């Protein structure tokens, strides 16, 4: 398992918002596991702590999945990211200057610069009793950004406030399904998409070690 610092998922539909809010300082143990499935790469997020269903009437819509890892942790766990012989699609302008907060009432975003962005194949997110539905013909984009944590990250691998942010953006819809009992969040990438993300990770590590 690749230990993460936090996982935040938000989906808003009409007047309701559902969320996952998992943080290592709160002992939620957010983590990432990457497995090969056929020729693709499946990212499975673990330690998903379910937040409250909230009334959000009149607030800007927010649909996203974000997860973060401290840069020293990323260096430590880099060898747990499976290798691929696929060729990267190349890093592209990941310019995305977020403002405001990571959620209503949440921490202010401390954005330090883009690494890249890449379209991915698929994501599946369920937060009981809802599942996030994908809108056809609209890409799912993963952004890689450098950010800083509001608190020092010290997990035995070093001490830093720098972290790498992985963020998915897509206009999800909420579907109520009372049969859902367990929260899940998965991301599926092609070999080329995965190779691009690996290049972005290595670029972020290089920047961290130089500064």
DSSP H helices in 58-175: 71-77
Question: Per residue in 186-201, pLDDT tens?
Answer: 999 999 999 999 999 9
Question: Per residue in 116-140, pLDDT tens?
Answer: 999 999 999 988 888 888 887 889 9
Give the pair of three-digit tokens for residue 157: 């691998």
105: which residues sit within 8 A by CB, 6+ positions away?
A: none
Q: What is the pTM of this model?
A: 0.87
Average pLDDT, the chain: 85
Domain range summary for the chain, segments of one domain joined by + = 2-210
CA 172, CA 57: separation in Å to the nearest integer? 17
Beta pairing, strands 159-169 & 122-127 = unpaired
CA 103-5-169 angle, 5° bins: 45
């Amino acid at each position: 398992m690749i230990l993460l610092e936090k996982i935040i998922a938000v989906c808003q539909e009409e007047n309701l918002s559902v969320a996952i809010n998992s943080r290592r300082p709160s002992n939620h143990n957010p983590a990432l596991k990457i497995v090969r499935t056929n020729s693709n790469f499946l990212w499975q997020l673990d330690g998903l702590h379910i937040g409250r269903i909230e009334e959000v009437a009149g607030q800007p819509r927010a649909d996203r999945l974000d997860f973060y890892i401290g840069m020293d942790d990323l260096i430590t766990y880099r060898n747990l990211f499976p290798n691929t012989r696929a060729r990267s699609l190349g890093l592209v302008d990941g310019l995305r200057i977020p403002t405001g907060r990571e959620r209503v009432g949440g921490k202010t975003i401390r954005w330090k610069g883009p690494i890249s962005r890449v379209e991915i194949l698929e994501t599946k997110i369920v937060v009981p009793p809802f599942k996030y539905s994908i809108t056809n013909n609209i890409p799912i984009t993963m952004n890689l950004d450098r950010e800083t944590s509001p608190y020092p990250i010290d997990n035995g691998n070093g001490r830093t406030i720098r972290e790498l942010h992985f963020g998915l953006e897509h206009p999800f819809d909420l579907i109520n399904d009372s049969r859902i009992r367990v929260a899940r969040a998965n991301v599926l990438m092609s070999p080329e998409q995965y190779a691009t993300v690996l290049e972005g990770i290595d670029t972020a590590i290089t920047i961290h070690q130089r500064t």
